Amino acid sequence: MRRPFARPWTGVLATAAAATVLPLASPVPAAADSVIVGGSPVQVSDSPWVVALSSRDRFGGTRSGQFCGGVVTGRTTVLTAAHCMSDDVLGLPMNRVKDLTVIAGRGDLGTSEGREIPVREVRINPEYDAYSNSGDVAALTLAEALPEGYVLPMAGEGDPAYKAGTEAAVYGWGDTTGAGDYARTLHAARVRVLSDAVCEEAYPGNADGTYQAETMLCAGEMEGRRDACQGDSGGPLVAQGRLIGLVSWGSGCGRPGSPGVYTRISAVAKVMRARA
Ligand code: ARG
């Protein structure tokens, strides 16, 4: 099954845009040792550029309304996945979600630490393709500026951080088991950047999806285990202190041979910056 979208919320939300998403023939659940899957709790003060996207209206208040991740790339700019802004995820056209907020400096979603900043503008990558999930990025403009120290630099074209084998870390408040166990505290998992050949082999264009090296990168461990999962979308993949990817899609979570697929930052930075 092609699984480009976060669909943890379909039980409670209308799926107006579901036309392109087939019902899932329930994929194998992640292995029991899959826990992010395979990660551990981290302090948000050590990674202040990780933010939560929130709407209490749409997702309820228990976990501060968190539904996706994001990353601070400018004092008033947060990047996230374009699919996080879809009707399919929000259950409404995004311009009808009145309380879209970025939460910075809050590791534990059960607290009121940090800051909640309203989103003033959402720009979806004009080259985003919802069917293939190519170019899965949106830029959010914040109503108030964050400190300079929150900003994570982006890795440009040719940056060595994209090389296969590079150690990276993915951050988020998503499902920790693949069974709908959403984290209350920020987690991170160490993963390795995989070669385009390996990613293409994992997603050759069958029902699981198609890997496109120009706009995507994949990371994980071939034996599975450590991975992003539902609810982590839009969150950062960081290597050598720079942003290389955004959580985008995958088949299941932490499954052997099905690495996580990320939006390749070098491929989208130019178009997102050009429109800034
Ligand atoms: N689409 C999911 C989300 O919206 C992210 C899935 C990532 N999956 C993975 N196995 N890395 O939260």
Atom of ligand 1 nearest to the CA of 172: 12
Instruction: Check if 253 has its Cβ closer than 6 Å to any atom of ligand 1.
Output: yes
Q: Is the pLDDT of residue 13 over 80?
A: no
User: Rounded CA gap, 56 and 218, in Å?
Assistant: 31
Burial of 174 (0-12, 13-18, 19+ CB in 10 A): buried
Strand 40-41 to 77-80 pairing: unpaired
Ligand 1 within 6 A of CB of 227: yes
pLDDT tens per residue, range 235-266:
999 999 999 999 999 999 999 999 999 999 99
Mutate to test the pocket of ligand 1, among 88, 191, 208, 233 (most ligand atoms within 8 A of CB): 233
pTM over 0.85: yes
- Residue 253 CA: nearest ligand 1 atom is 10
How does pLDDT run across 34-50, given as a tens digit for each residue?
A: 339 999 999 999 999 99
The CB of 36 under 6 Å from ligand 1? The reply is no
Q: Is the CB of 230 under 6 A from ligand 1?
A: yes
Q: What percent of the chain has pLDDT over 70?
A: 86
pLDDT digits (tens, 9 = 90+) for 119-129: 999 999 999 99
